[in-house]
């Protein structure tokens, strides 16, 4: 549920072995640095790699993708995000090519991811890792503090400031200020105030948003959990994301010898960066087309045309 002003709108063990990944023909070496979730200012900028120079996805990859700002362009409101059928087809091809080792790692609830990517139902971590679902499994949502106790105060804040939007994720809540960026200090102060007496919850700043979520969960922990399980275990991890909320994921992938792909430009623990979601989607589309050709070549008994 998203609240706009006074209105409501419907809406860690590590795997062993060599886990280097994603060859780039340019010198895009991994950045050896770590970050706290939501940080990033102390990191060097990721090496910018032209998509035409970034090698295609290889079959031993464990591929992790953020959703908003990475797979899909950001929208004024979360429910207005658009996903083209071509992207769903590409993800379906890559999911098969990787034997299921493709997961969405998002701040959205898993149910929303399923809605946007239907009929595809991928492994996913939602609400920054507070929700978890591996391939063929039911959604796991560990017990979380009751976020509803904070809602009256946050709803009153949004009613006082029409440029704010409140997104209730059941086990987390996000306060968006994209339509009123000048309200960022007020939002941060209000979140700090409501969390003063709360236990088991923490704030997570992002792009024009501050979220309140269960403490101790993040995208890095979700990726680490996937990497301990089939079909991800023993593969080479790649994680693409755009926001400071993705830094924990970049840090874990770096520790595992994999590659973080920053979508956009800023200081980050990611190894390489691309210009935006369109460039990231182009790389996925090209990888899927090459995967389809390789499968056809194998089926026909000929030498594969691409080494992914």
Output the six-digit token pair for 32.
């050896």
- Active site annotation includes 66: yes
Whole-angstrom distance, CA of residue 129 vs CA of residue 125: 5
Output the six-digit token pair for 297.
């070549």
> Is 181 in contact with 165 (CB distance < 8 Å)?
no
Q: Which of 4, 60, 66, 168 is catalytic?
A: 66
- Is residue 61 classed as helix, strand or coil in its secondary structure? strand
CA-to-CA separations, 19 to 67, 72, 186, 217, 233, in angstroms, rounded: 24, 27, 43, 24, 10
Whole-angstrom distance, CA of residue 222 vs CA of residue 69: 19
- Is residue 198 classed as helix, strand or coil in its secondary structure? coil
Q: Supply angle C-alpha 108, 109, 111, rounded to 5.
A: 125
Whole-angstrom distance, CA of residue 91 vs CA of residue 97: 10
Q: Phi first, then psi: give them for residue 289, nearest 5 degrees.
A: -65, -40
Q: Which residues are annotated as catalytic?
A: 66
């Amino acid at each position: 549920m998203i609240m706009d002003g006074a209105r409501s709108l419907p809406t860690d063990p590590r795997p062993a072995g060599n886990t280097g990944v994603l060859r780039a023909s340019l010198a895009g070496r991994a950045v050896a640095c770590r970050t706290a979730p939501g940080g990033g200012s102390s990191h060097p900028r990721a090496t910018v790699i032209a998509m035409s120079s970034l090698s295609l996805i290889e079959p031993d990859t464990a591929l992790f993708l953020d959703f908003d700002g990475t797979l899909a362009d950001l929208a004024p409101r979360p429910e207005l995000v658009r996903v083209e059928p071509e992207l769903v087809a590409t993800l379906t091809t890559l999911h098969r090519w990787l034997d299921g080792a493709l997961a969405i790692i998002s701040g959205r609830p898993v149910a929303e991811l399923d809605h946007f990517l239907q009929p595809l139902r991928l492994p996913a971590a939602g609400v920054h890792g507070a929700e978890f679902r591996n391939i063929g499994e039911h959604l796991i949502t560990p017990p979380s503090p009751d976020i509803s106790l904070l809602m009256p105060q946050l709803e009153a804040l949004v009613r006082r400031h029409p440029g704010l939007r409140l997104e209730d994720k059941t086990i987390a809540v996000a306060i968006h200020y994209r339509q009123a960026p000048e309200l960022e200090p007020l939002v941060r102060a209000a979140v700090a105030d409501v969390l003063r007496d709360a236990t088991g919850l923490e704030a997570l700043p992002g792009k024009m948003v501050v979220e309140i979520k269960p403490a101790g969960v993040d995208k890095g922990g979700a990726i680490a959990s996937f990497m301990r399980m089939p079909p991800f275990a023993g593969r080479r991890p790649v994680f693409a994301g755009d926001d400071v909320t993705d830094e924990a994921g970049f840090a874990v992938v770096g520790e595992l010898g994999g590659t973080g792909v920053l979508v956009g430009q800023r200081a980050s623990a990611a190894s390489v960066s691309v210009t935006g979601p369109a460039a990231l989607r182009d790389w996925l589309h090209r990888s899927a087309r090459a995967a389809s050709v390789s499968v056809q070549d194998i089926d026909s008994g000929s030498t594969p045309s691409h080494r992914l």
